[in-house]
Structure 1
């Protein structure tokens, strides 16, 4: 399995239900404590949730870091080129936070998808989520989902208030697909509607494709 590859085992329906009923606290600004076999804390549940969105953790979320969590961490470390020690330390946390979401971040991702692309085909909705995830992984953009979405003038829906609309289940499903690695944009970090775009700069970017009304670019 390669980085950002869509895991075949990911159950979108199960994850969506999980997102609605499991309350995981947002990650704090401070780096999480190192977690390992035997650890017990809310950070363990956050870790499991993030691993679950990527298809590595297929069990009920708990506060305990047991063998199932350790195995999931090792598989994640293997796929992301990290030391396979089963310990969620700074390097593992950094890689995981660049490629996954907790529930609060999933909510934000679903909101930006719904507000920016609710009239687009499903593939186009996933594409908007993929752009957010691509920016998250790019050193030239903020290093949190909130930071990417709230970056000044980054998204029209944030500026005009549509971001505050309540996302539907399709937006959540698209968000989960984007987090899991489905990227129909071919790595795009920008998109725009050619019928309404007024920026000459955006037309100068290399285009990676068009989905629905949006052109995607790098």
Structure 2
């Protein structure tokens, strides 16, 4: 799944300053079957929004949580052992940041329009002209309107998370685009100079 996954373990230490990793993971390196507490509840909530966890949020890491973690790991090309360790939480953090951008920038768009915004983030990750990790791509100065107008701080809904998961699994309706904009709202004339690739909903996607 793109070059992105090859550097996940190394980026864990680089991203530690802004990464949300539960205290139990920081102290012991993992959450696993038999653990309980708010860290487990938070994990269950995230997995539920992404469509992996179907049971009640109990704060207990049992067989249902273990299966949900393993399914998530399998879908994101991690070792699917059902144990939530640093690499799993780094992936969850990346997806959380992407979902916030998708929700902020495209919550009024169709599912394909949401996937397209997530795909642009991943395309930038693969482009040497942009930063080489999700957090830096998203927080690059003036990269995404939602980050500097406050919409990034809104809580994403399940549609945003699932759109990100579709993009992470290789769906790119933008055909490699690294820019997008609403031609009715854009004020930066530079963006109009970029070669257009496709239009999805209210957004034009461009190289």
Q: Please give the range of the TM-score, normalised by the shorter of the 2 chains.
A: 0.5 to 0.7
Q: Aligned partners of 2:125, 2:61: CA distance in 1, in Å? A: 27
Is the CA contact 1:37–1:65 (under 8 Å) kept in the aligned structure 2?
Answer: yes
Q: Aligned partners of 1:157, 1:94: CA distance in 2, in Å? A: 22
Q: Aligned partners of 2:121, 2:52: CA distance in 1, in Å? A: 18
Q: CA deviation at 1:68?
A: 0.4
Is the CA contact 1:134–1:187 (under 8 Å) kept in the aligned structure 2?
Answer: no
Which aligned runs of 4 or more in structure 1 are off by greater than 6 angstroms? Answer: 164-167
Which sections of structure 2, spanning at least 5 residues, go unmatched? 3-17
Report matched runs for 1:1-16 at 5 Å.
none
- Render the CA deviation track for 1:23-72: whole Å, top value 9, x for unaligned: xxxxx636430100111122212222222233221111121111100111
Report matched runs for 1:206-217 at 5 Å.
207-217=196-206
Scaled by the length of structure 1, the TM-score of the pair is 0.59
Indicate the structure with greater helix content: 2
Is the CA contact 2:100–2:154 (under 8 Å) kept in the aligned structure 1?
Answer: no
1:130 aligns with 2:130: no
Counterpart position of 2:143:
154
Counterpart position of 2:166:
181
Q: How many residues align?
A: 178
**Which one of the candidate residues 32, 46, 51 is aligned to 1:50?**
46
Scaled by the length of structure 2, the TM-score of the pair is 0.62
Residues 202 and 141 (structure 1 numbering): CA distance in 2 closer, same or farther, change over 3 Å?
A: farther
C-alpha RMSD over aligned residues: 4.1
Q: Aligned partners of 2:118, 2:45: CA distance in 1, in Å? A: 19
Report matched runs for 1:57-96 at 5 Å.
57-96=53-92
